[in-house]
Amino acid sequence: MSTSGQHQFRYTQTPSKVLHLRNLPWECIEEELVELCKPFGKIVNTRCNVGANHNQAFVEFADLNQAINMATYFASSSEPAQVRGKTVYIQYSNRHEVVNNKGPGDVPGNVLLATIEGVEAGDVSIDVIHLVFSAFGFVHKVATFEKAAGFQALIQFSDVETASAARESLDGRSIPRQSLSPFYLWKYLLPDHVSSCNLRISYSAHRDLSIKFQSHRSRDYTNPYLPVNPSAIEGFVQPAVGPDGKIKEPESNVLLASIENMQYVVTVDVLHTVFSAFGTVQKIAIFEKNGGTQALIQYPDITTAAVAKDAIEGHCIYDGGYCKLHLSYSRHTDLNVKAFSDKSRDYTIPNSTVWQNSQTASMFPGNGFSGGGAGPTWYPNTQAGRPPFVSGPSTFPGQTYSQSSVPAYAAAADFSVMQPGQISGASQPPRQHNMGPGGASHPGQPPYNG
DNA sequence: AGCACA
């Protein structure tokens, strides 16, 4: 002690919340440092493998007193600090913060930067990106763009934790060619010519993306009132003006859906699922007209209706061309429907407990995607001739192959998103407000409740 | 065993 005191005397150390550690085992890892240091306080940063021998490190504590605690403890302890049996020498660093080896893309934030490798910008739609990332939590905004690195997207989550979970699970993975969603709309995620589609994900320095328009390049799922950029929508799904220059119908917050080739029963629940992908559905009414089935779907605003209309128009609810949807704007602006019947719903009436349970969580098309490629793919025409939805909500197809709870993306080679019906939330009101397609929540994260 | 720079 007196000798070491003399050494200390030669190298006068002013206390710092950064400690310098030396004589560490070669290529000591962060976890080993943390193990050694965390009893003394909160570690905010580390830097390992410093020096020619890779046997030095820096540890930064949140508080100076924590560093002092550690330094003085080992200075007077008969048991030296050790890592893997090697004595570690600890002093105050002559620096006051750790600058670590993390690049800018490694600094956690709530916005992710995804580079989608091996695709052209037009190959992966913003809806697919939204679907994939929504498995981890509510996606606030998405912006896509092309850079030298390729096709990229910024995905904004509520918080760092959600973004980190998504990054951990998705970085280096591929977007699967098709999901197992029974909803044809979300079944084929990639065009045929795309052979692989790797995701490289880092953190963006952005905290809040500025989205000017809802378009095929950018979406703000928190703001249904954001105007749709007509030029950006153009060529995305359906131009609003026909080739014959026909005057487009006046927009409305209520959509009229005609269901063509309705080989299977289309229930209010099914429509709610499909249309909720674009925003809050307020009311639905199903009726017969001219021997066909039609439905009115009411959104709170025109913008949401416009986005939904453009995205869904001409798509089929089921694979095989079944239940093809044709959409137009209704002249209605506020439907007068029964709160709960087999042909209508008013979701704006709170606490309609009769149907609430079936509405919560189990109604997202994105949830159908799963199983690491191993789960059964659901086709309406393989259900032993039985129409899929006749028995009501409990036979929602996503639940027909529900398995035990699996963490999202647990499978080795493919996507594995939790199954519908596994999100607990029987007490959640049906307010999957502004959820995009596949607005599934990660386990432990309740659906967004605006 | 004695302070990094990406």
- Residue A34: its H or E element: helix A30-37
**In terms of Cα–Cα distance, which of A50, A193, A181 is closest to A120?**
A193
On the CB side of A310, how many CA atoms lie within 13 Å of its CA?
Answer: 25
Q: Is the C-beta of residue A53 closer than 7 Å to nucleic acid chain B?
A: yes
Alpha carbon distance A396, A419 (integer Å): 12
Strands (E), A51-187: 56-61, 82-83, 86-87, 89-92, 111-116, 139-147, 150-157
- For chain A, the distance separating the N- and C-terminal CA atoms, rounded to the nearest angstrom, is 61
Burial of residue A73 (number of CB atoms within 10 Å: 0-12, 13-18, 19+) = middle
pLDDT value at position A247?
Answer: 58
Q: Which two tokens stand for residue A348?
A: 């704006």
Q: Is the C-beta of residue A147 closer than 7 Å to nucleic acid chain B?
A: no
The 8-class DSSP code of residue A409 comes to: T
Q: Is the C-beta of residue A44 closer than 7 Å to nucleic acid chain B?
A: no
* Kind of pairing between the strands at A316-318 and A340-341: unpaired
Q: Sign (positive/negative) of CA torsion A119, A122, A123, A125?
A: positive
Along the 450 residues of chain A, how does pLDDT read in single tens digits?
A: 444 444 444 556 899 999 999 999 988 999 999 999 999 999 999 999 999 889 999 999 999 999 999 999 999 999 999 999 999 999 999 999 998 777 778 888 999 999 999 898 889 999 999 999 999 999 999 999 998 888 999 999 999 999 999 999 999 999 988 887 777 777 889 888 998 899 999 999 999 999 999 999 999 999 988 988 766 544 333 334 445 656 567 889 999 999 999 989 999 999 998 999 888 999 999 999 988 999 999 999 999 999 899 888 999 898 888 999 999 999 899 999 999 999 999 999 876 545 444 443 333 334 333 333 333 323 333 333 333 333 333 323 333 333 333 333 333 333 333 333 333 333 343 343 443 444 433 333 333 333
Query: Which strand ranges, in their side-by-side order, compose the sheet holding A111-116?
Result: A199-203, A111-116, A150-157, A139-147, A218-220
pLDDT value at position A433?
Answer: 41
* Kind of pairing between the strands at A199-203 and A283-289: unpaired
Name residues 21-40 of chain A with a Cβ under 7 Å from nucleic strand B: 22-23
pLDDT value at position A351?
Answer: 64
Beta-carbon count within 10 A of A345 CB? 28
Q: Is the C-beta of residue A11 closer than 7 Å to nucleic acid chain B?
A: yes
Protein residue with the closest CA to the C1' atom of nucleotide B4 = A50
**In terms of Cα–Cα distance, which of A363, A415, A361 is closest to A169?**
A415
Protein residue with the closest CA to the C1' atom of nucleotide B1 = A23
pLDDT value at position A275?
Answer: 92
Alpha carbon distance A323, A184 (integer Å): 10
pLDDT value at position A225?
Answer: 86
Give me the CA A206–C1' B2 separation in Å, rounded.
40
pLDDT value at position A81?
Answer: 97
Query: Which strand ranges, in their side-by-side order, compose the sheet holding A283-289?
Result: A316-318, A322-329, A254-260, A292-298, A283-289, A344-346, A340-341
Q: Is the C-beta of residue A20 closer than 7 Å to nucleic acid chain B?
A: yes
Protein residue with the closest CA to the C1' atom of nucleotide B5 = A99
pTM for the structure as a whole: 0.48
Q: Is the C-beta of residue A120 closer than 7 Å to nucleic acid chain B?
A: no
Q: Which bases of chain B come closer than 7 Å to a protein CB?
A: 1-6
